[in-house]
Chains A and B, each alone.
Chain A
Amino acid sequence: QSGLTQPASVSGSPGQSITIPCTGTSSDVGTYNFVSWYQQHPGKAPKVIIYEVSQRPSGVSNRFSGSKSGNTASLTISGLQAEDEADYICCSYGSASTLVFGGGTKLTVL
């Protein structure tokens, strides 16, 4: 099972919105609604910001939203803030009860 595909980097200005795609296959993202997204600041452990494609854990800003279409899940961050600069990593449940991560996307807030 190959990893999920994410762009290496994205950027945006404060106040703007950005979207990070996460492309899998019919064996993971395309079939299961167990896609989660993690925010990782340098030197820190990842933190969940979206689970089950579009659900936000308690305490996570509503500026973060998730969606899915076919084999591609997406994370959208609206009203970009400097503190959003971090790596964003997707994860999906897959066939044979395995889990697969994306390679991660580095967000730069200009």
Chain B
Amino acid sequence: QVQLQESGPGLVKPSQTLSLTCSVSGDSISSGSHYWTWIRQPAGMGLEWIGRIYVSGSTNSSPSLRSRVTISLSTSKNQFSLELRSVTAADTALYYCARMTMSGGVPDYFDYWGLGILVTVSS
């Protein structure tokens, strides 16, 4: 059974860096069979794709967030992480990590999700 679990601070001050980690069990990030992704959802609003990483370290992220986002992974810990710099109140959201399938190397769909972690940006 694949499980993902987000962890990190629930409160971040404006202008600081939001840092989250996703711990994966039931699958190995090193397998190379999936992409590992971050998605967020502000309260009462829709989903927003943040970015993804592959076991090679290759990343891609939303153009609107790219200048502030870093996604990395640790194969030894079977974890991947998100850093979002210079946060504002607009970054307050429920942050999900998710596993994404691929078809011919193209990202296909999200098949397993974490429960999400609420991050509030406030002084």
Contacts and interface: CB of A to CB of B under 8 A. Distances in A.
Whether chain B is bound by chain A comes out as yes
Interface of A: 1, 3, 32, 34, 36, 38, 45-48, 51-52, 57, 89, 91, 93, 96-104
Contacts of A100: 49
B45 to A, nearest CB: 8
Decide if the interface of chain B is mainly helix, strand, loop or mixed: strand
B46 interface: yes
Interface of B: 39, 45-49, 52, 60, 62-63, 96, 101, 103, 106-111, 113-116
A46 B107 contact: no
B47 A48 contact: no
Contacts of B49: 91, 98-101
9 contacts: A45-B113, A48-B110, A91-B47, A91-B49, A91-B109, A93-B106, A96-B60, A97-B106, A101-B46
B108 A99 contact: no
A22 to B, nearest CB: 12
Contact of A103 (B46, B96, B111): B46
A45 B47 contact: no
B107 A93 contact: yes
B47 A34 contact: no
Nearest to A89: B47
